Amino acid sequence: MNFDLTKTTRVFLGVVLAIFGLNEFFNFLPALPLEDPALDFVGALAATGYLFPLVKFTEITCAVLLLTNRLVPLALVLLTPVLVNIFAFHCFLAPSGLLVPTVLVLGTAYLAWKNRSSYASLFIV
């Protein structure tokens, strides 16, 4: 039996993103305790009324694409700004929760590298 790191990473990312994305709509995970200024930032985003549902819908959509192995390069392009912001949030505002975003960013970078031929035309001058 061969271990396929690319498939394992893709499925892992898809499952994690699906869980966290669906949690926005069904609230089955407990909320992480946040302190100021992280709490202020999350409160401001939630107050817009549209940003969290939009981000979570994007996560769910990309999770489905990753899990079905469809349009993976597009899913990675859509996920990158979301994951960079989640990573930055934890770096600067809530460092205690940095492990999961770090793993997600590394997994996304790995998959982007494995799909680098799909992005080649973006770098033609």
Pair 79, 17: CB distance under 8 Å: yes
Report whether pLDDT(1) > 80.
no
Q: pLDDT value at position 109? A: 97
Number of H helices, E strands in the chain: 5, 0
Q: What is the mean pLDDT of the chain?
A: 95
Binned at pLDDT 50, 70 and 90, residue 2 comes out as confident
Q: What is the pTM of this model?
A: 0.92
Q: pLDDT value at position 33? A: 87
Neighbouring C-alpha atoms within 13 Å toward the C-beta of 87: 15
Pair 102, 84: CB distance under 8 Å: no
